[in-house]
Amino acid sequence: MTGNDEDGARRTTRAGPVEVACDESGSDSENLTSGNTDVFAHASVRLSGKCAAQCVREIRDRIRSPAEEYKATHLLREKHRAVLEWVLCPAGPLYGHAHVDLTEKAFLVVDRALDMLLGDCAEARVLFGAGPEVFGTQRWRQFLEAANQLLRARNSGGPAAPVDDFLRTVRALRELPAPAEVTGVLERLAGARERADALRARKLAGGGLIPVLNPLVPAILRTAAHWSADGGTVRLVHDQQNMLTPGRIAWLVQTAGRDGIGLAGLDLVDSRQDSRVQLADFLAGIARKIASDELNRRGDPPLTALLRPYVGAMSVWGDAPSWGRLGPSADREGRGKQAGRAARIGC
């Protein structure tokens, strides 16, 4: 990457929207508690096509794998550790040009449940923080799975089964000793039958353009908020996703405008044809793996430190110890607050 190219990538022009390329890692649709991953990562890269193509070529030259298409897994192999560190380090190609929005899936379930059933997600951290320590790992897991089934669109069993199962799980937790503030949240949930029934009725009727638990759409809004925080506008170039239908893209642009986010539009492309999206794909996969390792107390401190400058302050994360290692420093949090309501979408 030449100095002129670097300057061009950093400079924001006001002649029109800035193009930012995006991709994700860890998508299990609305199956957030028993899917293949516990973290969802949405990465975005602001580089020119020329710079991105040069970067991808450099990664291939350094790794020298015969694979036709490179993925994050190539960079995450121990034998390529030096290449991974180069990609993320302050002297590397992405530093200052990329951003990662993280979602801890289990916390998203609790956050959405309290918002949909109580109209208040402020106490989500209170309940989530108690979690397995207060209730035990097995009981807490049962609660998370019941909440996930209640909120997702597709379920097996009768129409009332998800509501019955969820309330039964809440009652079981209420019988256990817990701090007063936690007991108070559970009591309110136990009394939310009417809201829970109404929620399931809407699900069965096919209501709601945006699935409540799918982390992609709110992550896109937070990404747009990050890149337009200086008052400009951004046009996102995203890898093809079935979730991103024309109707949902129109909803994203409309919602962004309502919330003061400068999202001019979103275009879908084939990642194999766009080096910028390939880099976003690399970064999303890398970030998801590093964040998941931190969440599960098997983190790699040097890699976590390299990832931290990329992590957005408005990420949806409930586990305090791992966030203390992953989250941005205090002097960067103000920019993330631009996302505002984008972090809380009661769809």
What tens digit of pLDDT does each residue of 311-344 get?
Answer: 999 999 999 999 999 998 743 443 333 333 334 4
Q: What pLDDT was estimated at residue 71?
A: 85
pLDDT at 105 over 80: yes
pLDDT class for 157, splitting at 50, 70, 90?
A: low
pLDDT at 347 over 90: no
The mean pLDDT of 207-223, rounded to a whole number, is 90
pLDDT at 268 over 80: yes
**Domain ranges (residues) in the chain:** 3-100+211-336, 106-204
Give the H/E segment covering residue 170.
Answer: helix 161-174
Q: What pLDDT was estimated at residue 155?
A: 67
Q: What pLDDT was estimated at residue 339?
A: 34
Question: CB within 8 A of 134, min separation 6: which ones?
Answer: 176, 177, 178, 179, 182
Q: Which of 299, 282, 305 is nearest to 76 (CA)?
A: 282
3-100+211-336 fold: Nucleotidyltransferase; domain 5 (3.30.420)
pLDDT at 240 over 80: yes
CA dist 42 and 288 (Å) reads 9
| Percentage of the residues of the chain whose pLDDT score is greater than 70 | 88
Q: What is the pTM of this model?
A: 0.90
pLDDT at 12 over 80: no
SS3 content of the chain, % helix, strand, coil (to 5): 55, 10, 35
